[in-house]
Structure 1
């Protein structure tokens, strides 16, 4: 069924004028001029095809038509307020749904979320792994991590990193190239795996050397499972925390982004 267009601004003005039985006092409440109130009331009367107020020697009076609809109108405004509170309640929830590539979740994100959750026992995380485009509406996501040279069509903030680093199990590891899907490579690697995380694991196993995001290799380097061969080099691409503007503005998302980008 087609919904009737509702002149909500005019009805809000009508509600104020009906409570005060005065265009002047309604104007004060709404921070507009009495003339603007009068214009809104006349426009509403034209739209509805009814007269809402009568002027008498004692001031304004509501017509029977106005009195007949006023109670339902005020109930409706209360329902609007309930709807707004319900929609805003999600901003104060402690649950966040995050999508990221599998290797980012394993090598970088999960240890950080564990530390964040340990500091706030009420936090709840839902983690989705994805290597393709992220549909925020379909997956009901709050935040995503993507590899690229910017946030794309969404709002975003870069995760600070040294760029790309060559890693191996030891400095004398065999000079066999381990490639991964999505990496920029010179020539065909001897070994190819699905993502940078598996390339790191292959290097730890002693299969060769891999050029991977320093962000993902840092923990294994610090733990001594890997060594960096040479210095890290800057990369045009990197990992970004991204979300559409409505999700990006949520307090819980902004707080998480600030923690993850420290």
Structure 2
């Protein structure tokens, strides 16, 4: 019989009925009706082509065929329990693999991860650079992405979808804001690789940049820039994202709650 065809629920019912030698007590343990237990046992007998229980004047008895399979079945269930515990131990491990843009990590994520580790000294963090890293290839737990939404992943918004102007003078362009002046045919005098470089250039007096507010606020909190300028609504914001299986992990829920203040 193929593994995909194993009647695991019926075998679980059989194990309970064999321990109690009573469909009623097995039903109480499994929180179902005695009739449901009887249906599962009959279906299992039909599938296996053997009789598992006999009714006698003293009650239920196991047949020889049932006795022959009972111990290996219970050993299998113990192995299932060990497997589940191993998987749960992996989920509750304190190692996080996170992908985040370097500029966001430096300005916002790093101090918050430091606070999380201070409260949870056993935590270890592996940081992967980039905002488009594949979850499966990199074995990620979480990623931070500058996007219009979480897409087909589970996600939590970090801050508001707003941008703020920092610095003075000519506009500084970066991939998230390639034409900050908005004038057709007018190229900014300085192009940089990301919002962090745009902030650094503005702080050095090389011009002004329009960057995510949460990033600029992080720089201001760290004392790297003195003042923030005009605030505008934006279509994109930083999102903390993960596929649903990762999102459901206890360790991921704990970190998400810390980072979002939930």
TM-score, reference length from structure 1: 0.90
Aligned equivalents of 2:131, 2:155: Cα separation in 1: 18
For residue 198 of structure 2, what is the aligned residue in structure 1? 199
Among residues 168, 171, 180, which one is paired with 1:177 in the alignment? 171
CA deviation vs aligned residue, 1:42-62 (integer Å, no higher than 9, x gap): 110111111111222222221
Aligned equivalents of 1:204, 1:6: Cα separation in 2: 65
Equivalent runs, 1:69-108 vs 2, <5 Å: 69-108=69-108
CA deviation vs aligned residue, 1:207-262 (integer Å, no higher than 9, x gap): 21111112112233345533446322222211111112222222222221222123
| Structure 1 residue matching 2:5: 3-state secondary structure | coil
Question: Any gaps of 5 or more consecutive residues in structure 1?
Answer: none
For residue 150 of structure 1, what is the aligned residue in structure 2? 149
CA offset at residue 191 of structure 1? 1.1
CA deviation vs aligned residue, 1:144-193 (integer Å, no higher than 9, x gap): 1111121111111111147211112xxxx4x2221111325224322111
Q: Does 1:253 align with 2:252?
A: yes
CA contact (8 A) 2:163 2:232 kept: yes
CA offset at residue 78 of structure 1? 0.7
For residue 51 of structure 1, what is the aligned residue in structure 2? 51
CA offset at residue 118 of structure 1? 2.5
* Structure-2 change in CA distance of 1:125 and 1:229 (3 Å): closer
Question: Any gaps of 5 or more consecutive residues in structure 2?
Answer: none
For residue 5 of structure 1, what is the aligned residue in structure 2? 5
Aligned residues: 256
Shift >4 Å, 4+ stretches: none
For residue 60 of structure 1, what is the aligned residue in structure 2? 60
* Structure-2 change in CA distance of 1:17 and 1:140 (3 Å): same
| Structure 1 residue matching 2:215: 3-state secondary structure | helix
CA offset at residue 136 of structure 1? 2.0
Aligned equivalents of 1:80, 1:252: Cα separation in 2: 23
For residue 30 of structure 1, what is the aligned residue in structure 2? 30
* Structure-2 change in CA distance of 1:16 and 1:119 (3 Å): closer
Aligned equivalents of 1:157, 1:86: Cα separation in 2: 29
Aligned equivalents of 1:66, 1:23: Cα separation in 2: 15
